[in-house]
Amino acid sequence: MVHLTTVPNDDVAQAPLVEGLQNIKFEEPKEDEVTASVYGSRFASEGLPGHALPDGEMPRDVAYRMIKDHLTLDGNPVLNLASFVTTYMEEEAEKLMAEALPKNFIDYEEYPQTADIQNKCVNMIARLYNAPTDANEDNAMGTSTVGSSEAIMLATLAMKRRWQNKRKAAGKDISNPNIVMNSAVQVCWEKAARYFEIEEKYVYCTDDRYVIDPAEAVGMIDENTIGICTILGSTYTGQYEDTKAVNDLLIKKGIDCPIHVDAASGGFVAPFVVPEMEWDFRLEKVVSINVSGHKYGLVYPGVGWVVWRSPEFLPKELVFNINYLGADQASFTLNFSKGASQVLGQYYQFIRLGRSGYRSIMLNLTRTADYLAACLQQMGFVIMSEGGGKGLPLVAFRLNPAKKHHFDEFAVAHQLRERGWVVPAYTMAPNANKLKLLRVVVREDFSRSRCDSLIQDIKQAVETLAKMKDGTAEQYME
């Protein structure tokens, strides 16, 4: 509904908001009644244009105020605990990003310093993920994207094309590629598979396992498998999948199948909270990794990153060389023009915080998530996420079925929404989707005091629902 808009026919576009208004005559404001006041202008007595470009102009202060007023019914991003996306950056970062708004990032010839900053970011991320950098190793490669969705599309294309090239060289059929992944993957993986005509082979969740089963995943590989996806931080429960176990099984069985790690959420958490955990290029079967800069990379949306172990895993024919912007340059993207602001924001965070700054923030978020989980457990909720840094700094929880509540998680979410909080209620991934749960994402600006406010409101929401008569709360249930 939001991303794909249907353009209404004229009779719908011109229909009144309330039936019968077309029969009532309203006095139109005269031109000479336009005043210096925004709300004294004729624009304040008209609806915002929504179907056709207006014929005349609007003063800039009026345009600003009309749009700002229209947005007041949006939720408060700070209270949106459904989203992993960054909602706080320092003023200096915001200023730097605002100054770069006119720059088209793709124009490397015109903005060489901006391109250089992207390269610096790729270098830092590659080393953070332990990419091979010895003199006798091929160079790791990477690029910025508009988010992890584009990064995953690029990585999937690279895996598919590499598989096709190997099959062609062997004189084999290339018409039925497949990819192995958990059924709890983010929807962008389903898009990648569908758009690029790749069969999806799912390792389904169970009632007590919400991550990929390494043995089952490796067992699904056949000659048409282009790769395995593992997730560093499930969207549903925040758990880290065991990439090392998948890697070790592939080596043990002598199977030549690459691993792509979807580190969209965990890629800027795990290296600082559990640096000893092996999930990245330390594992020989890991050939590419994506990460979202606009999640725990602490940058406003949208920026993502994708890194390949070496050029071997990024077929040359996918990289386009162009010169119509004034210089020869290589391009491997799904889009072309994009702003430079987010890349600069990422570099600001890297040099502003460094490893110690990121570590401090991520450890604080982990502590806050553990505190919230402990409080919810004491209140009788069942905790479905892992604490102590074993997963993302989030809390996934559900009502205890043993208590036989006459309301469900969706009713709790509705009550919290009345207090301004956006705490999503949802069902688990396929094959375990009879489970309902709630999730709180702990972001940088979710302080301990704000967490205490949420806990109080959750207590109040449950108490309010418990006092409702049977049947009253059902209108909010799924």
Our CA angle for 274, 276, 279, nearest 5°, is 85
pTM: 0.90
Neighbouring C-alpha atoms within 13 Å toward the C-beta of 181? 30
Going from the C-alpha of 323 to that of each of 47, 108, 320, 335, the distances in angstroms are: 47, 10, 10, 17
| Angle CA 455–300–82, to nearest 5 | 30
User: What local confidence, expressed as pLDDT, does residue 177 receive?
Assistant: 97
Backbone CA torsion sign across 440, 443, 449, 450: negative
- φ/ψ region of 471 (left if φ > 0, alpha if ψ in -120 to 50, else beta) reads left
Residue 410 structure tokens = 């969706």
Q: CA 178 to CA 199: how far, in whole Å? A: 4
Read off the amino acid at residue 204: Y
**CA–CA separation, 84 and 289 (whole Å):** 18
pLDDT at 37: 84
- The Cα–Cα gap between 49 and 277 comes to 54
Question: What is the per-residue pLDDT for 40?
Answer: 84
Per-residue pLDDT, 138: 80
Find out whether 303 and 86 touch, Cβ atoms under 8 Å: no
Torsion of CA 73, 76, 77, 82, to 10 degrees: -90
| Residue 353: closest CA among 157, 126, 89 | 89
| Successive 10-residue mean pLDDT values, the chain, 478 residues | 60 69 66 67 87 91 93 92 96 97 85 90 96 84 94 97 96 96 93 96 91 97 98 96 98 97 98 98 98 97 96 91 59 85 97 98 98 97 96 97 92 94 91 87 96 97 88 62
Distance in angstroms (rounded) separating the CA atoms of residues 222 and 213: 17
Q: Are 331 and 170 in contact (CB under 8 A)?
A: no
Q: Give residue for tokens 């999948």.
A: 241
- Calculate ∠ Cα 125-126-127, nearest 5°: 90
Q: On the CB side of 92, how many CA atoms lie within 13 Å of its CA?
A: 6
